[in-house]
Structure formats: structure tokens, C-alpha cells
Amino acid sequence: MNRIVLSSVLVFWIGLSQVFSQEIVDVSKTRQQIKGGVRLDANMSHFILLDFDETNSKKGRGNSKRNQRGFGLSVGGYAKFDIANFFALRSEALLHYKTSKLDEKKFGVKADYQYFGVEVPIHALFQANNRRCFIGTGAYFGFGIDARYKFNNKGDLNLYKKYNGQKSEFNRFDFGIASMVGHEFFNTRLHLVITCKVGLINLLNADKDNARMRLHTLSLGLGYRLN
């Protein structure tokens, strides 16, 4: 996923520099347009784990691990502000459901993470082919509504709740890098979009000084432009 993000950033900035250096468009003379629509995604997500020695997780880079990916859905809307023919800003508001699995060898249980939340990604887009093809990079901001840690499908732990006056296991806020690639089908308002989000914030709260968990998400979805 990191390669997807880095590639998106590189392609975007190379294309953007060529556009403005060659003066293909004059931003001051370009008609500014705002377009909006809706989108529905299927997502796969997992955590990057650091200093989690008591888990049977796949090894990542360095001393990191990652837990097993899970499937989820996200739905929401977007607004795109066309600054020039080749450049736009796109903001989204998404309600998401994500899942992943963790094998706790210390406790001998298999646990499921299930979490609902809101994300607001903001992308700077480089557009081509009459604005039908686009690639972008930016950032996302997340807020958790509900998060559950379920043990063997029996009991669950509310990760945002304080128990016995202690800190909650998770914090509700997330922030990270976001990238996207998309294409709008000819003679329609439908577009296919692939997005990648790499979390930069440690989601742990109670044990944040001893371990780290960062969220990674890959999504494939359909968008519909309303105007």
C-alpha cells in the first residue's frame, strides 16, 4: 500500500508541474465549477502493529506485524472543485464499517475488530481525458463512532469506553495519507475509484506508550456524479 501512495504522489506532482510550467491552462481564465455526487465502496482493512509480541500476526517491515484483513463497506458523498482543466480539489464525507481479525496467543482466543466511523478525505487531483481520468493524493481525517473487540464471537469490549475509571483502549481520532485513482465511464456519470489510506496516528489510548496500532485501508468503489 505504501508503494501505491508514493507512486500516486510522484505521478501527481510530475503531472502538475508540467501543466503549470508549460502554461497549458490559465487558471485565472478557467471557469470554476463545483460538481458533486455519491459513492459506495467495499473496503479491506488491517492494522500495522508495533511491539505486539503476544499475537500470531504476519510479519511486516522491520519489527512490525499486521493482523488479518477484514471486509467492510463505506458510503457517502463528494464535492469536486475544478480549478483548471487539469487540476481539481475533491473532498468527501464517508460513513464506514471496517473489520479485521487478531489471533491472541497470550489469551488463546481469536478476536474480531469491528468499527464504525466517519472519514473526511481531501485530495488534490490531476485530471486527464476531459476530466474523466484522475489521480490524486492528500490526507484524511477520521472520527470513530463505535469500536468493538469481540472474543470468539462470545463477549465484546467497547474500545471507546472507560472501564473502572481507566482510559479507553482506543482514541476516536485518526489522521493519515490518502490517495486515489479513478476513471469515469464514457457517456455515463458513473466512475470507478480505487483508494488507499495509510494511518499515521497511533490508535491506542490506554497502552499508547508501550505499543502502536495504525490503520491501513484499501477500497474499491463506484461513484455517481449528480451534475
Task: List, run by run, the mean pLDDT of 10-residue segments along the chain (227 residues).
Answer: 49 48 44 84 89 56 71 96 92 95 66 92 94 94 93 79 88 96 90 96 88 92 93
In this prediction the pTM is 0.78
What pLDDT sits at residue 19? 45
- Phi then psi for residue 178, to 5 deg, are -130, 145
What pLDDT sits at residue 63? 54
What pLDDT sits at residue 140? 97
What pLDDT sits at residue 61? 53
What pLDDT sits at residue 36? 94
Q: Is 196 helix (H, G, I), strand (E, B) or coil?
A: strand
CATH topology of domain 2-15+36-45+56-209: Lipocalin (2.40.128)
What pLDDT sits at residue 48? 82
In contact, 181 and 193? CB cutoff 8 Å: yes
Domain boundaries, the chain: 2-15+36-45+56-209
Q: What is the largest CA-CA distance in the chain?
A: 65
